[in-house]
Structure 1
Amino acid sequence: MTRTPVEKNSVVEKAPVAEKTPVTLLGLGAMGTALARTWLAAGHALTVWNRTPARAAALAPEGARIAKDVAEAVVAASTLVVVCLLDDASVDEALDGADLVGKDLVNLTTSTPAQARARAEWARTRGARYLDGGIMAVPPMIGVPEAGGYVFYSGSRDVFEQHRQTLGVPARTTYVGENAGFAALHDVALLSAMYAMFAGVAHAFALIRKEDIDPASLAPLLADWLVAMAPTVHQTAEQLRSGDYTKGVVSGLAMQVAGTPTFVSTAEQQGVSPELLSPYFALMRRRLADGSGENGEEGLTGVIDLLVR
Structure 2
Amino acid sequence: MTTKNSTHPVTVLGLGLMGRALAGAFLRGGHPTTVWNRTAAKADDLVAEGVTLAGSLQDALTANPLIVVCVSDYEAFHGLLDPHGALLEGRALVNLTSGTSEQARETAAWAAGLGATYLDGVILAVPQAIATPDAILLHSGPAEAFEQYEPVLRSLGPTTYLGTDHGLSALHDIAVLGLMWSVLNGFLQGAALLGSAGVPASAFADLTTRMAATVADWTPGYAKQIDEGAYPAYDSTIDTHLAAMDHLVHESEAAGINTELPKSVKAFADRAIAAGRGGDGYAAMIEVFRTPSEVGA
Q: Which residue of 2 aligns with 1:75?
A: 62
SS in 2 for 1:48: strand
Q: What's the offset of the Cα at 1:69?
A: 2.5
Q: What's the offset of the Cα at 1:163?
A: 1.0
What is the rounded CA distance, in whole Å, between the counterparts of 1:27 and 1:167 in structure 2?
16
The correspondence for 1:25, drawn from 12, 37, 54, is: 12
Structure 2 unaligned spans of 5+: 293-297
Give a deviation string over 1:102-145, Cα, whole Å, max 9, x none: 10110000010111111111111111111110111111101222
More helix by share: 2
Give a deviation string over 1:78-102, Cα, whole Å, max 9, x none: x110000100111101102321111
1:272 partnered with 2:272: no
Structure 1 segment 128-207 matched on structure 2, within 5 A? 128-145=116-133, 148-207=134-193
- The aligned amino acid for 2:223 is A
What is the rounded CA distance, in whole Å, between the counterparts of 2:79 and 2:239 in structure 1?
53
1:108 partnered with 2:108: no
What is the rounded CA distance, in whole Å, between the counterparts of 1:255 and 1:144 in structure 2?
43
Q: What's the offset of the Cα at 1:280?
A: 1.7
The alignment yields a C-alpha RMSD, in angstroms, of 1.6
Report the TM-score, using the length of structure 2 for normalisation.
0.92
Q: What's the offset of the Cα at 1:301?
A: 2.5
Give aligned pairs, total.
Answer: 286
The correspondence for 1:61, drawn from 40, 48, 57, is: 48
What is the rounded CA distance, in whole Å, between the counterparts of 1:249 and 1:303 in structure 2?
15
The correspondence for 1:303, drawn from 274, 285, 290, is: 285
Contact kept in structure 1, 2:246 and 2:266, CA below 8 Å: no
What is the rounded CA distance, in whole Å, between the counterparts of 1:298 and 1:126 in structure 2?
52
Contact kept in structure 2, 1:249 and 1:298, CA below 8 Å: no
What is the rounded CA distance, in whole Å, between the counterparts of 2:176 and 2:199 in structure 1?
32
Q: Which residue of 2 aligns with 1:125?
A: 113
Give a deviation string over 1:52-79, Cα, whole Å, max 9, x none: 22212342111111113222101001x1
Deviates more, 1:218-227 or 1:37-46: 37-46
Report the TM-score, using the length of structure 1 for normalisation.
0.88
Deviates more, 1:191-200 or 1:210-219: 210-219
What is the rounded CA distance, in whole Å, between the counterparts of 2:245 and 2:5 in structure 1?
62
What is the rounded CA distance, in whole Å, between the counterparts of 1:149 and 1:248 in structure 2?
36
Structure 1 unaligned spans of 5+: 1-16
Q: Which residue of 1 aligns with 2:237?
A: 252
Larger Rg: 1
1:84 partnered with 2:66: no
SS in 1 for 2:197: coil
Deviates more, 1:84-93 or 1:257-266: 257-266
What is the rounded CA distance, in whole Å, between the counterparts of 2:201 and 2:68 in structure 1?
43
What is the rounded CA distance, in whole Å, between the counterparts of 1:18 and 1:242 in structure 2?
41
Q: Which residue of 1 aligns with 2:200?
A: 214
Q: What's the offset of the Cα at 1:18?
A: 6.1
Give a deviation string over 1:221-277, Cα, whole Å, max 9, x none: 1110111111221122111111112x2531101111123221111111222112122
Tell me the percent identity.
36
What is the rounded CA distance, in whole Å, between the counterparts of 1:43 and 1:195 in structure 2?
37
